[in-house]
């Protein structure tokens, strides 16, 4: 069974679920009431506890091998097994949950296996992240930010040749729902010649796609772009929180440092590469006059199917909006088709010098703004550096984020003839600096 069907599940909440129908089956790590974290699969409003399912005899063959690799509350070992193991697990899960399944009674008899995705369920990072790299592949974002500093030359000459990235801080990656404490640091106030120290005044979000690495490579070995897709286990949402005033003072000559490393939020469910197969697209044509990628980054199949059609949404909920029972305010609605480079090209470029990638490494795409104002993925762009505040239904305005503000990222894939799937949410609420 594949995603190309509109098959229904005997779990009623999965049918028409906005994020987790039968065709998705994302992987994650959860705990209940302070229990030891364990691996699970989201289906509708429920989680299948993979460890309990294994004990109940629900898995066999390659699918059993895959589940055994998830024991211990982390998905690293499963990622390392590669695509074959994920496909075997996916096929078995569909067999378990499809409408009319002969295994329904066996699952229902094991009440410990299928748990409600309830408020007392705590989600954790799905893998131990050894390394985190943040790229800069949203060309509209790159142009918008460049215009703020270089109006006549927003893109530097290397941008259209090199998938730009920097080494981020894995130690402060956190799952959705973790509070975002306002960072402190050095800034250079306008009109001053010496920096001052204190809380960030220009706190921002960045709307990004997270890319989970599956099988890695040996140090010294490059991953060909034609094979790079096989090294991607799945995807998530990622908010690269940014202290813009700290960033402006520190970023030359080596780029972001403390302005980015205080926290990075991700959605906790790993939407597998297999679940996204129906939503692959041809990589958008580069504008006339842009250079073609160098040979090591160019593969015909990747250009034909390497892009993803994922709608990305960012919303803001302030304290005043909560008190007035107002809905979150949409700040932007964009799409991963705004990526200038494919995910496979990022994997290949990262490894081309012999750098070792490992199962559970995480990439950020960079901010994925679109060409229209309604598609921007950061306040830096939306307010043009604070010059044009955003007006909210509560009567408030925002140049940058204030304490009590909550940013919510969502994503959705749709295509005629296919069940839509989503990513769950990536949330973070700003709290005051210590």
Catalytic residues: 141
The span from the CA of 201 to the CA of 244, in Å, is: 8
The span from the CA of 98 to the CA of 109, in Å, is: 17
């Amino acid at each position: 069974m594949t995603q190309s069907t509109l098959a229904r599940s005997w779990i009623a909440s999965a049918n028409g679920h906005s994020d987790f129908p039968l065709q998705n089956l994302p992987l994650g790590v959860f705990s209940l009431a302070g229990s030891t974290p364990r691996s699970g699969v989201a289906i509708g409003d429920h989680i299948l506890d993979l460890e309990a399912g294994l004990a109940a005899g629900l898995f066999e063959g390659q699918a059993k091998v895959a589940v055994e690799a998830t024991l211990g509350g982390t998905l690293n070992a499963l990622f390392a097994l590669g695509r074959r193991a994920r496909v075997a697990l996916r096929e078995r899960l569909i067999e378990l949950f499809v409408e009319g399944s002969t295994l329904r009674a066996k699952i229902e008899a094991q009440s410990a296996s299928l748990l409600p995705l309830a408020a007392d369920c705590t989600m954790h990072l799905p893998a131990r992240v050894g390394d985190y790299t943040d790229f800069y592949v949203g060309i509209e974002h790159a142009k918008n930010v460049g215009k703020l500093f270089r109006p006549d030359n927003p893109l530097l000459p290397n941008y259209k040749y090199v998938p730009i990235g920097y080494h981020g801080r894995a130690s402060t990656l956190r799952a959705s729902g973790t509070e975002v404490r306002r960072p402190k640091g050095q800034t250079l106030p306008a009109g001053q010649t010496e920096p001052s120290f204190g809380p960030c005044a220009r706190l921002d979000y960045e709307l990004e796609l997270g890319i989970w690495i599956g099988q890695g490579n040996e140090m010294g070995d490059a991953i060909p772009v034609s094979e790079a897709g096989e090294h991607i286990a799945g995807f998530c949402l990622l908010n690269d929180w940014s202290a813009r005033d700290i960033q402006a003072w520190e970023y030359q000559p080596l780029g972001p440092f403390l302005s980015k490393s205080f926290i990075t939020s991700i959605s906790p469910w790993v939407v597998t590469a297999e679940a996204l197969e129906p939503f692959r697209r041809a990589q958008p044509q580069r504008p006339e006059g842009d250079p073609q990628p160098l040979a090591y980054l160019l593969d015909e199949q990747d250009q034909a199917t390497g892009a993803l059609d994922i709608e990305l949404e960012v919303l803001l909920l302030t304290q005043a909006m909560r008190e007035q029972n107002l809905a979150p305010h949409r700040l932007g609605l964009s799409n991963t088709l705004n990526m200038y480079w494919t995910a496979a090209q990022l994997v290949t470029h990262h490894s081309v010098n012999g750098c070792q990638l490992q199962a559970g490494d995480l990439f950020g795409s960079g901010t994925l703004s679109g060409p229209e104002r309604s598609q921007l993925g950061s306040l830096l762009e939306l307010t043009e550096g604070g010059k044009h505040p955003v007006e909210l239904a509560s009567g408030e305005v925002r140049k940058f984020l204030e304490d009590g503000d909550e940013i919510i990222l969502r994503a959705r894939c749709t295509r005629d003839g296919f069940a839509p799937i989503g990513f769950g949410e990536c949330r973070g609420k700003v709290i005051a600096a210590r």
